Amino acid sequence: MICDPRKPTIWVVAGGIFLLNGEQLVEMCKQAYHSEDLLSALLAQHPALPTGGDQLARSPRRWLLVKREVGVSDREVGGSRWLLDHLFVDQEASPPGRGRMKYG
């Protein structure tokens, strides 16, 4: 992979994650998000964020956000039993069920 030297690059090496921005190398630190809503908004705006190593696959999944906070029923007729934080589909229109389920 060829990196554009004008854009920040992230390097993952044993023991840490580093951001290379020009000639400056910064070690990234683990920290909690300020709020769940901030994290949810980032996931909604950047659906590729939680793909992990999938980006290195020959045919990585491309995700499209269908809806945030969507109810899911366990039968055809009736109310929602679970709540998905995010409903994504991939390029084959296959939903992964990303997010945690909450009883509703």
Kindly state whether residue 68 falls inside one of the protein's structural domains. Answer: yes
Other CB atoms within 10 A of residue 86 CB: 21
What's the pLDDT score for residue 101? Answer: 47
Q: Judge whether 71 lies within some domain.
A: yes
Structural domain containing residue 87? 9-103
Contact 44, 68 (CB under 8 A): yes
For the whole model, what pTM was predicted? 0.55
Over residues 21-64, the pLDDT tens digits come to 888 888 888 778 788 888 888 888 888 777 655 655 677 778 88
Instruction: Please check whether residue 4 lies inside any domain of the structure.
Output: no
Confirm whether 2 is domain-assigned. no
For residues 30 and 9, the answer to whether their CB atoms sit within 8 Å is no
Structural domain total, the chain: 1
